[in-house]
């Protein structure tokens, strides 16, 4: 942030009247510079100065809302280039692209796929949020397709450079649809359409310089609800654009580039889904805000949604679950006990598999520092003593008459020690991977 | 105001490291910006992995390589041909004392045969038992003197043997393995250089995980290591990074579940490739200079990704 406490101080009357709640104008100015108190708290700073200041104290990258109701998402709003510097706040969205050139059957199949590829992973719903509709030839069909997308609860991305057609399409697209886009040739007309419909306007240009000029033109026309398209002709240019735009915004204080980006992997590698997965993965890390794919089957969704979930966690808040004994599939006091760690990822993976097995069971989780099984073990937080103490302190022997205690396969080395510490228990080494738990539990039951 | 590019300022440079010998030699590293952002076109290399114990590898590899799976030398040749990879990694899993406990002599024979069958640089991976790997990689270094192979990897518990044999006595390259932690990576590099291994002979293996499985730590570790090497000119972190993501990617549920286990997920092979390609691409933009995959299709995809990024 460019603004300093001293810059604000210069704009106060320096009377130390305390009306802002601070003892001195200087104290107020220092706080205001960090964004911790709004400039408006001082009634003596002129409106002109306030407008100037709010521009200067605004975050480097705008937060742009797309979609409405249940489909609403926020893009952008980032303050750092690398997640370890603080955290990345708004995860990217994924999109697939349809067009009026597709047959009804093709559209139906694509929609069915959007319905099918929906699941939960570590309490987060995973699905494609945005559906792009590209105009080919048939205006009526195009508008009908946009309408259909909106009705399915997806955020429509309307791709046309024809302002009249865009107007007809946004009318059926719901609030905060995305309109791709404004070009040097149609900017004024597109801004009109976007403004009237409260749509997010996508800005497209042939080069990064031209893109910058066009954003400035559009901002002068009074519209700042924008997303920026990176090159869709060359991988090199697309990647460089995405990085340069974000770097200019965050490090260069260039507000004209302080907007989210849109990347069309389907245009960069048409027909090559593996290459699209590779590109999408690169852009999850490096500054793609909406990433468009040809289609999203499980082979693409599983890795990409997993990666996104990882990258957009807050590095300052390790994901943990409460250490305690969890119950699955309605145990009745005679069912086996599995052991794992309090790392949220490990817990959710294991919990999901125990549920899938339908076998009633208990899951005992000691305090393992919030680490994965091997990390906790290597850090000395998931040894035989830790586990044995937990089993005793949580009175697990009173919860169930079963004396089967199942260890994660990766810490098989603990079996001997643990058996000595818990003589009344039969310590069993489970499989290495959680996905083998259902079969393992069913075999154990048999 | 017209657009003016904001450059991240760097004063450090990643070491250039040559691997392989003669016609087969390639070099990795050398960049002085984050990868793919400068105009110099420093190109990460793509490696293909094989093992002497493919029992737990996915069925699709049997379909691709057939009987060659039982013969590491034949498999190595086929793997390089089918993938167009820049180098090959052979894992000596059979050496594991808690597994087949294959002898050092047998394993060295395998490696020598593999080396003779290919014309690309070789990376030799041990069995991940520190004690056994020390003996094993020492003998490998000796047997392949002059071939400039990468010993994958030295860890805190065996770096002395592997460093002395590999980096010093027999002129090989030493990969230094740490577990997703910038300080551990730095410490092992320092220990190796203090031992007398030249820093240009060291490559870093900073750890890996499959996407969705703690990959955020890998991503941030790589970012921090690169920013320290380039931005703060920290010489103890300017080694090229080598990352073997093949085992992690093909080991998670998304890749391991058969069509029977998870009918709704569709083709198993496609899922394995998806996990591998996504993980590899994320490592490559994170700064990995040599990335190792299992499936020929993954190798081809990552090679064309790199070609595209370099333009
Ligand atoms: C991310 C990571 C970290 C993160 C921690 C993240 C976290 N919250 O745990 C950080 C960077 C902090 C870290 C630190 C360390 N790490 Co670490 N880390 C990893 C990494 C890359 C991924 C771990 C992960 O998230 N796995 C995913 C979770 C879901 O796996 P999981 O808990 O094992 O669960 C699976 C199975 O075990 C099974 N399962 C789980 N519970 C149960 C229960 C039952 C009953 C059954 C049947 C199955 C089952 O299901 C899951 C999926 O199949 C791994 C390498 C790797 N790729 O695995 C190294 C790794 C685990 N770390 C390792 C080490 C050594 C360390 C450190 C000790 C390094 C050091 N010297 O400082 C420190 C320890 C921390 C400390 N000193 O405070 C080593 C462990 C080596 C070993 N074999 O002992 C590993 C394997 C890396 C390596 N190859 O060297 N680490
Ligand atoms: S209200 Fe304004 S003038 Fe009064 S003390 Fe605060 S900053 Fe100074």
- Per-residue pLDDT, A36: 76
- Cβ–ligand 1 distance for A406 under 6 Å, the answer yes
Residues 269-288 of A with CB under 8 A from B: 269, 272, 274-275, 277-282, 284-286
Cβ separation B278–A313 shorter than 8 A? no
Cβ separation A116–B298 shorter than 8 A? no
**For B232-278, what is each residue's pLDDT tens digit?**
999 999 999 999 999 999 999 999 999 998 899 999 999 999 999 99
- Per-residue pLDDT, B67: 97
For chain A, 446 residues long, give each residue's pLDDT as a single digit of tens: 456 788 889 889 999 999 999 999 999 998 888 777 888 889 998 888 887 777 776 788 999 999 998 899 999 999 999 999 999 999 999 999 999 999 999 999 999 999 999 999 888 999 999 999 999 999 999 999 999 999 989 999 999 999 999 999 999 999 999 999 999 999 999 999 999 999 999 999 999 999 999 999 999 999 999 999 999 999 999 999 999 999 999 999 899 999 999 999 999 999 999 999 999 999 999 999 999 999 999 999 999 999 999 999 988 877 889 999 999 999 999 999 999 999 999 999 999 899 989 999 999 999 999 999 999 999 999 999 999 999 999 999 999 999 999 999 999 999 999 999 999 999 999 999 998 999 999 999 87
All domains in chain A, ordered by first residue:
20-48 (no CATH), 63-311 (3.20.20.20), 325-445 (3.40.50.11600)
Residues 233-272 of A with CB under 8 A from B: 234-237, 239-240, 243-244, 247-248, 251-252, 254, 256-257, 268-269, 272
- Per-residue pLDDT, A26: 93
Q: What 3-state DSSP class applies to B209?
A: coil
CATH number of B41-310: 3.20.20.20
Residue spans per domain, chain B: 41-310
**How many Cβ atoms sit within 10 Å of the Cβ of residue A85?**
15
Task: List, chain by chain if needed, residues with CB within 6 Å of any ligand 2 atom.
Answer: A 12-13, 15-20, 22, 25, 28, 42, 44
- Reply yes or no on whether the pLDDT at B133 is more than 80: yes
CA–CA separation, A26 vs A6, rounded Å?
8
- Per-residue pLDDT, A418: 97
- Cβ–ligand 1 distance for B187 under 6 Å, the answer no
Question: Which atom of ligand 1 is found nearest the CA of A370?
Answer: 8
- Per-residue pLDDT, A1: 43
Cβ separation A213–B2 shorter than 8 A? yes
B101 backbone dihedrals φ, ψ, rounded to 5°: 50, 45
Protein residue with its CA nearest to atom 4 in ligand 2: A17
3-state secondary structure chain A: CCCCHHHHHHHCCCCCCCCCCCCCHHHHHHHHHCCCCCHHHCCCCCHHHHHHHHHHHCCCCCEEEECCHHHCEEEECCCCCCHHHCCCCCCCEEEEEEECCCCHHHHHHHHHHHHHCCEEECCEEECCCEEEEECCCCHHHHHHHHHHHHHCCCEEEEECCCHHHHHHHHHCCCCCCEEEEECCCCHHHHHHHHHHHCCEEEECCCCHHHHHHHHHHHHHCCCCCEEEECCCCCHHHHHHHHHHHHHHHHCCCCHHHCCCEEEEHHHHCCCCHHHHHHHHHHHHHCCCCEEEECCCCHHHHHHHHHHHHHHCCCCCCCCECCCCEEEECCCCCCCCEEECCCEHHHHHHHHHHHHHHCCCEEEECCCCCCCCHHHHHHCCCCCHHHHHHHHHHCCHHHHCCCCEEEECHHHHHHHHHHHHHCCCCEEEECCCCHHHHHHHHHHHHC
Distance of CA B171 to the CA centre of its chain: 19
Cβ separation A209–B2 shorter than 8 A? yes
Q: How far is A436 from chain B (nearest CA, A)?
A: 9
- Per-residue pLDDT, A2: 54
**How many Cβ atoms sit within 10 Å of the Cβ of residue A83?**
21
- Per-residue pLDDT, A44: 92
Contact list in A for residue B285 (CB cut-off 8 A) is 239, 282, 285-286
Q: Tell the residue number behind the tokens 């508008």, with chain if given.
A: A143
- Reply yes or no on whether the pLDDT at B120 is more than 60: yes
- Per-residue pLDDT, A7: 85
CA–CA separation, A114 vs A124, rounded Å?
17
Contact list in A for residue B273 (CB cut-off 8 A) is 274, 299
Structure tokens belonging to residue A213 = 């000029």
- Per-residue pLDDT, A276: 98
CA–CA separation, A338 vs A329, rounded Å?
13
- Per-residue pLDDT, B1: 84
Q: Are B210 and B251 in contact (CB under 8 A)?
A: yes
- Per-residue pLDDT, A5: 85
- Per-residue pLDDT, B282: 98
Tell me which DSSP letter residue B164 carries: I
Cβ separation B274–A300 shorter than 8 A? yes
- Per-residue pLDDT, A6: 87
- Cβ–ligand 1 distance for A438 under 6 Å, the answer no
Q: Which of B83, B206, B210, B274 to mutate to test the interface with A (most CBs of A within 10 A)?
A: B274
């Amino acid at each position: 942030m460019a603004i300093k406490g001293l810059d604000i101080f210069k704009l106060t009357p320096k009377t130390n009247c305390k009306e802002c709640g601070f003892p001195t104008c200087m104290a107020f100015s220092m706080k205001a510079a960090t964004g911790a108190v709004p400039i408006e708290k001082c009634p003596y700073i002129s409106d002109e100065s306030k407008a100037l200041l709010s521009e200067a104290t605004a975050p480097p990258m705008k937060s742009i809302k797309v979609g409405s109701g249940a489909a609403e998402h926020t893009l952008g709003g980032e303050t750092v280039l690398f997640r370890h510097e603080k955290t990345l706040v708004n995860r990217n969205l994924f999109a697939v692209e349809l067009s009026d050139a597709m047959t009804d059957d093709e559209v139906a199949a694509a929609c069915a796929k959007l319905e099918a590829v929906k699941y939960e992973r570590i309490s987060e719903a995973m699905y494609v949020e945005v559906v792009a509709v590209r105009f080919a030839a048939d205006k009526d069909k195009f508008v009908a397709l946009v309408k259909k997308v909106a009705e399915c609860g997806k955020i429509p991305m309307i791709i046309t450079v024809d302002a009249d057609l865009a107007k007809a399409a946004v009318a059926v697209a719901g609030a905060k649809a995305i309109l791709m886009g404004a070009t040097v040739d149609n900017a004024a007309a597109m801004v009109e359409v976007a403004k009237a419909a409260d749509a997010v306007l996508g800005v497209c240009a042939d080069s990064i310089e031209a893109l910058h000029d066009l954003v400035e033109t559009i901002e002068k026309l009074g519209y700042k609800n924008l997303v920026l398209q990176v090159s869709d002709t060359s991988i090199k240019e697309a990647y460089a654009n995405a990085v340069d735009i974000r770097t200019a915004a965050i490090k260069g204080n260039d507000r004209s580039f302080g907007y989210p980006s849109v990347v069309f992997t389907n245009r960069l590698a048409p027909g090559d889904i593996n290459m699209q997965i590779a590109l999408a993965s690169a852009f999850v890390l490096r500054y793609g805000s909406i990433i468009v794919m040809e289609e999203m089957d499980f082979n693409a969704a599983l890795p990409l949604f997993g990666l996104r979930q990882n990258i957009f966690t807050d590095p300052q808040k390790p994901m943990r679950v409460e250490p305690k004994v969890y119950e699955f599939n309605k145990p009745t006091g005679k069912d086996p006990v599995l052991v794992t760690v309090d790392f949220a990822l490990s817990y959710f993976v294991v919990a999901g598999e125990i549920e899938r097995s339908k076998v009633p069971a208990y899951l005992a989780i000691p305090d393992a520092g919030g680490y994965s099984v091997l990390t906790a073990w290597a850090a000395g937080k998931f040894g035989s003593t830790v586990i044995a103490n937990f089993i005793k302190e949580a009175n697990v022997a009173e919860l169930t008459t079963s004396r089967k205690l199942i260890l994660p396969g990766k810490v098989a080395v603990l079996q001997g020690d643990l058996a000595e510490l818990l003589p009344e228990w039969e310590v069993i080494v489970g499989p290495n991977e959680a996905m083998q738990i259902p079969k393992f539990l069913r075999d154990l039951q048999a | 105001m017209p657009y003016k590019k904001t450059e991240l300022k760097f004063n450090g440079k990643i070491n250039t490291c040559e691997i392989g010998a003669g016609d087969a030699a390639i070099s990795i590293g050398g960049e002085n910006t984050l990868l793919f952002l400068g105009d110099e076109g420093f190109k990460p290399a793509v490696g293909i992995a094989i093992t002497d114990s493919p029992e737990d590898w996915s069925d699709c590899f049997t379909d691709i390589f057939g009987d060659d799976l039982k013969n590491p030398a034949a498999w190595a040749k086929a793997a390089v041909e089918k993938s167009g990879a820049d180098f090959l990694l052979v894992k000596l899993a059979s050496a594991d004392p808690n597994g087949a406990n294959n002898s050092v002599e047998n394993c060295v024979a395998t490696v020598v045969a593999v080396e003779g069958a290919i014309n690309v640089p070789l990376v030799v991976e041990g069995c991940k038992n520190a004690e056994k790997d020390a003996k094993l990689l020492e003998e490998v270094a000796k047997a392949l003197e002059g071939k400039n192979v990468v010993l994958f990897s030295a860890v805190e518990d065996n770096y002395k043997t592997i460093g002395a044999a590999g980096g010093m006595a027999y002129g090989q390259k030493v990969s230094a393995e740490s577990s997703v932690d910038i300080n551990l990576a730095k410490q092992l590099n320092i220990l190796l250089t203090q031992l007398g291994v030249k820093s240009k002979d060291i490559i870093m293996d900073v750890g890996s995980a499959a996407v969705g499985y703690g990959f955020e730590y890998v991503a941030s570790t790589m970012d921090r290591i690169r920013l320290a090497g380039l931005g703060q000119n920290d010489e103890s972190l300017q080694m090229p990074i080598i990352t073997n993501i093949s085992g992690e990617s093909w080991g998670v549920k998304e890749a391991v579940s058969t069509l029977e286990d998870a009918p709704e997920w569709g083709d198993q092979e496609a899922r394995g490739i998806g996990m591998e390609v996504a993980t590899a691409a994320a490592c490559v933009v994170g700064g990995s200079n040599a990335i190792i995959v299992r499936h020929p299709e993954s190798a081809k995809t990552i090679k064309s990704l790199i070609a595209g990024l370099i333009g």
